[in-house]
Structure 1
Amino acid sequence: MAAIILGLIFIAFTVFAVLPGCPLNWGADVIAFLKGFAPVLAAFAGLISILIGAADIKDKKEAKKEEQEAAKNQEK
C-alpha cells in the first residue's frame, strides 16, 4: 500500500513540476531530456532485440539437435 501511495505522490510531483504555470516549470527540460534520451533508448532496445534473436536461433538449433537425437534413440 505504501508503494502505491509513494508512486501517486511521485506522479503528482512530476505533473506539478512539468506544468507551465507552476513555479518549477521543468517542462522544457523534460522535453530536452526525452529528445536526447530517445536515440540512446532506441539503440539499447535494438541491441537487446539482437541478443534475444540470437539466443532464440541458438535455442531452436539445440532443440532440433535434441529432436534428432531422440529420433535416433527411438530407432534403436
Structure 2
Amino acid sequence: MTALLVGIGLIVLAVLMVIPGILGWWSDVLAFLRGALPVIAFLIGALAVFIGIADIKDKIEEKKEEEKEKAEEKNKSENSEN
C-alpha cells in the first residue's frame, strides 16, 4: 500500500513539474522527449523482434512435441495390435 501511495505521489509531482507556469520545465521536457523518442522506438522495436523470434521458436518446439506424441501413439497402437 505504501508503494502505491508513493507512486501516486510521484506521478502527481511529475505532472505538476511539467505544467507550464509552475516551474517552467515544459520546454526542457519536450526537448528530452524529442531526444529520447528515437531511442525508445528502437528499444521497443528490438523487444518486439525478440518476442517474435521467441514465439516462432515456441511454435516450432510445439510442432516437434506434437509429432513426437503422434509417433508415440502410433507405436502404442501398433504394439497393442501385436
The aligned counterpart of 1:17 is 17
Q: For 1:56 and 1:8, locate their aligned partners in 2 and report how far apart those are by CA, in whole Å.
A: 35
Give the structure 2 partner of residue 47 of structure 1. 46
Q: Give, in whole Å, the separation in 2 of the partners of 1:61 and 1:36.
A: 39
Structure 1 residue 8: deviation in Å?
Answer: 3.0
Aligned letter for 2:45? G
Counterpart amino acid of residue 3 in structure 2: A
Which secondary structure does the structure 2 equivalent of 1:5 belong to?
helix
1:58 lines up with 2:81 in the alignment: no
Pair member with larger Rg: 2
Q: Name the CA distance, whole Å, in 2 between partners of 1:62 and 1:6.
A: 44
Q: Structure 1: which 5+ residue stretches go unaligned?
A: none
What is the match of residue 79 of structure 2?
none
Point out which structure has higher relative CO (alpha carbons under 8 A, 6+ apart). Answer: 1
Paired residue total: 75
Q: What residue identity is the alignment partner of 2:46?
A: L
TM, length-normalised to structure 2:
0.80
Identity %: 44
Q: Counterpart in 2 of 1:7?
A: 7
- Aligned-pair distance for 1:10? 1.6
The alpha carbon displacement at 1:35 in A equals 1.0
